Amino acid sequence: MIRYRGVAYYPEFWPEDRWDEDIRLMREAHINLVRIGEFAWTPMEPAEGRFDLGWLHRIIEKMGAAGIEVMLCTPTATPPAWLTKACPDTLLVTREGKRAVHGGRRHYCPTSATYRRHVERITERLASEFSRYPNVTSWQIDNELGPESGECYCESCASGFRGWLERRYGNLERLNAAWQTRFWSVVYTDWAEIDIRHCEAGYPSIDLDVRRFHSDSWVDFAAHQAGILRRLHPGSTVTTNMMGPVFRWIDYHDLAKVVDVACDDLYFDMATMSGDALAADVFRCLKPGKRFWVTETGSASLVTGKPPHADQLRAWAFSSAARGSDAHVIFRWRTCLAGQEQDLQGIIETSGKPRRRYAAVKRLFEELEDLVPALGSLPLPKADVALVHTYDSHWAWQSTRIGGQVKELEHLYAVHELLFDRNVLVDPVPTDRDLSPYKLVVLPSVCIVRPETVAALQAFVRAGGVVLATPQLASRDVNNNYVPRCAPDGLTDLFGLRVEGKAFLDDASEPDRAIWFPKGNMVLETAHARFEDGTACEARAYVEDLELVGAKALARFTDNLYEGCPAATVNEAGKGAAFYAASYLDADGLGSLLDLALQRAGIAPGPRTPKWVEVVRRGDVTFAVNHSREPCTVEIPGREAVVGEWKKGKARLGAYGVCAVRG
């Protein structure tokens, strides 16, 4: 259960004679961790090589005296004005060739050698000066790495990309073959001809490599700082705050390898509750076997400033705790008087007074602290279902025009929501993870499947595992080109089917519809399908023309292009089975297919609960959290209640109620 109760604090913004009062209030609110320094480069180093760190020493000492640990952040998200003025090559350049200007954040180029030099100086200085404090226990690298101010296409990135390609492909022959550049005469005959911006029209294979390069650049940027911090402060926890549920610009499976703990900035009002649960699940699985931290979460809405109900704030904390979090850090201590996020509410009012948000956080943190002895050492929750998510596939989808219409990520969220609704815990994992701990592996539109994964899936099913895949499985090669065979490539035997044709459905041929004039009035169409038991569902936007070679049809299309053809199938293979959906089935359709797959895998869904009531088992404790305003009763077997109202196997959950039952 949650060990760190924290807050982001910006002492550089507040008068020093206020600090003691802030720390007193923090102690009273049971805060035991503060994040400090993330945007304070100029106060730390007002001119190149001239450091002013006295204030940082003083605040860290004060925190230490109060028993509060410090997560010290490197300030590299916000380069000082003197730096960007002296070295404009540190500023990112947009695809259109526009150089960023000072005053925002994350407007630097992660590959700039000049920027790295400055980053190294400040990071080394901070690590060597502050590692001596026993209460500085963790480091945050930068803040939310990624292209917040845009991805960079400067000269350094352009030549970096060419070098990256040379290392990947060795020679131009292999590069041209991988990218299949003959189309539109793109063929490269000299490395110097390759432009990271490549063509406006997009070229999926090139686009995928550009995305890979950008991602690698961010990971490398983080690794540089991580190396310095580990060298100068061994034993500390080195991390960076990331974003969920699925951040599309950096391969977090790579970034996670650079850090000691996976940290998510989880603002619960940014996604639906199942999206928030997905974020928690994703971060639990980034560092297998390790608890994750929620490094930022709001005590009020990010956009409007309206606070959630105090009990809802509590329900959110219990939800992520049940899913494996070990830190709950509120953004931020006090509402700022100025700046880009002036209206973003802190726990303390602009006046400096602790009012309602403070009271809510204090109550929550007091409870979390009280629960540490009883729930502090629970093992992580164990999932029977793996949900495959890979950046190759996410990026492949984004690089196609139609990908924007189908919204592959929304499909991933939809699959997760169906499992969330059934109280079946899911591990979102990349394909190189060991699949043997799972009974069911779900592959939502995983269009790129590497040969190793093909072999792993076959072995998994042969040994008794069950897989469920949705459209476009293994339809592309690792270079983002369609395979010149029937999909799913390498897996047609396993699924007992061949995808012989496909179509994105649109209504453009109707007399009042058009693709161009008037532009944008075409909509993606819905077909329909029916399962054997009569369940009818919508099949959205995209359909595949399946030829069954062993599989059995579980549902068929009842109209549109492939009327009468299979819409969902199952194939028994070895000791296991492979299920397939030939379209984006709605919740009824995909839910039915999922139920069949769960049943075949021998996974009993969790207790039936009303919508937005979740049940998660962690060790010998079952958590039930009601995220809705409607009170309800949920059946939970067990021995004794640790939290909430529970009697004779029944938990009574009020609005936003929480119950934790042992046994």
User: Partners of 426 in the beta sheet?
Assistant: 385
The minimum distance between CB 31 and ligand GAL, in angstroms, equals 18
Is 144 catalytic? The answer is yes
Nearer of residues 340 and 377 to ligand GAL, judged by Cβ: 340
Question: Which of the residues 534 through 563 are near ligand GAL (CB under 6 A)?
Answer: none
Nearer of residues 78 and 205 to ligand GAL, judged by Cβ: 78
Distance, in Å, from the CA atom of 350 to the CA atom of 334, rounded to the nearest integer, reads 7
Q: Where are the beta strands (DSSP E) in 532-620?
A: 536-548, 552-557, 566-573, 576-581, 583-585, 613-618
Choose, by CB under 6 A, the member of 265, 281, 477, 614 that binds ligand GAL. 265
The minimum distance between CB 331 and ligand GAL, in angstroms, equals 5
The minimum distance between CB 377 and ligand GAL, in angstroms, equals 30
Q: What is the DSSP letter of 286?
A: H
Nearer of residues 264 and 477 to ligand GAL, judged by Cβ: 264
Closest residue (Cβ) to ligand GAL?
144
Strands 576-581 and 466-469: parallel
Task: Please name the residues in contact with 33: beta carbons below 8 A apart, sequence gap of 6 or more.
Answer: 4, 5, 6, 7, 68, 69, 70, 71, 327, 329
Choose, by CB under 6 A, the member of 84, 143, 325, 622 that binds ligand GAL. 143
209 near ligand GAL, judged by CB under 6 A = no
The minimum distance between CB 306 and ligand GAL, in angstroms, equals 15
The minimum distance between CB 341 and ligand GAL, in angstroms, equals 6
The minimum distance between CB 121 and ligand GAL, in angstroms, equals 23
- DSSP-H helix ranges across 170-305: 172-179, 204-232, 252-258, 273-286
271 near ligand GAL, judged by CB under 6 A = no
Angle at 246 between CA 109 and CA 102, to 5 degrees: 25
Backbone phi and psi for residue 182, each to the nearest 5 degrees, phi listed first: -65, -25
Distance, in Å, from the CA atom of 450 to the CA atom of 453, rounded to the nearest integer, reads 5
First-last CA distance in the chain: 16
The minimum distance between CB 241 and ligand GAL, in angstroms, equals 6
344 near ligand GAL, judged by CB under 6 A = yes
Other Cβ atoms closer than 10 A to 512: 6
> Number of residues in contact with ligand GAL, rule: CB under 6 A?
8
Choose, by CB under 6 A, the member of 69, 144, 264, 417 that binds ligand GAL. 144
Question: Which of the residues 177 through 196 are near ligand GAL (CB under 6 A)?
Answer: none
Choose, by CB under 6 A, the member of 173, 341, 343, 500 that binds ligand GAL. 341
Nearer of residues 278 and 494 to ligand GAL, judged by Cβ: 278
Angle at 377 between CA 372 and CA 379, to 5 degrees: 140
Can you spell out the DSSP letters for 529-543? Answer: EEETTS-EEEEEEEE
Can you spell out the DSSP letters for 455-511? Answer: HHHHHHHHTT-EEEE-TTTT-B-TTSPBPSSPBSTTTHHHHTEEEEEEEE-B-TTST
User: Partners of 65 in the beta sheet?
Assistant: none
Nearer of residues 216 and 296 to ligand GAL, judged by Cβ: 296
The minimum distance between CB 482 and ligand GAL, in angstroms, equals 37
Binding string, residues 273-312; x marks residues near ligand GAL by CB under 6 A: -----------------------x-----x----------
**Does the N-terminal peptide bond of residue 230 adopt cis geometry, omega within 30 degrees of 0?**
no
Nearer of residues 209 and 265 to ligand GAL, judged by Cβ: 265
Distance, in Å, from the CA atom of 87 to the CA atom of 106, rounded to the nearest integer, reads 15
Distance, in Å, from the CA atom of 629 to the CA atom of 656, rounded to the nearest integer, reads 6
The minimum distance between CB 328 and ligand GAL, in angstroms, equals 15
Distance, in Å, from the CA atom of 53 to the CA atom of 126, rounded to the nearest integer, reads 9
Question: Which of the residues 369 through 398 are near ligand GAL (CB under 6 A)?
Answer: none
Q: Are 638 and 323 in contact (CB under 8 A)?
A: no
Active-site residue (options: 45, 151, 296, 544):
296
Choose, by CB under 6 A, the member of 331, 438, 531, 580 that binds ligand GAL. 331
Question: Which of the residues 602 through 631 are near ligand GAL (CB under 6 A)?
Answer: none
Other Cβ atoms closer than 10 A to 485: 13
Binding string, residues 508-537; x marks residues near ligand GAL by CB under 6 A: ------------------------------
The minimum distance between CB 296 and ligand GAL, in angstroms, equals 6
Nearer of residues 270 and 522 to ligand GAL, judged by Cβ: 270
Q: Which of 79, 209, 59 is CA-nearest to residue 143? A: 79
Nearer of residues 210 and 347 to ligand GAL, judged by Cβ: 347
Nearer of residues 297 and 445 to ligand GAL, judged by Cβ: 297
Q: In what order do the strands lie in the sheet with 645-647?
A: 632-635, 650-653, 645-647
Residue 296 parent element (H or E): strand 292-298
Instruction: Compute CA distances 286 → 2, 242, 389, 432, whole Å.
Output: 18, 11, 11, 12
Nearer of residues 9 and 331 to ligand GAL, judged by Cβ: 331
Number of H helices, E strands in the chain: 18, 27
Active-site residue (options: 45, 144, 525, 544):
144
- Catalytic residue numbers, as ranges: 144, 296
Site residues, ligand GAL (CB under 6 A): 143-144, 265, 296, 302, 331, 341, 344
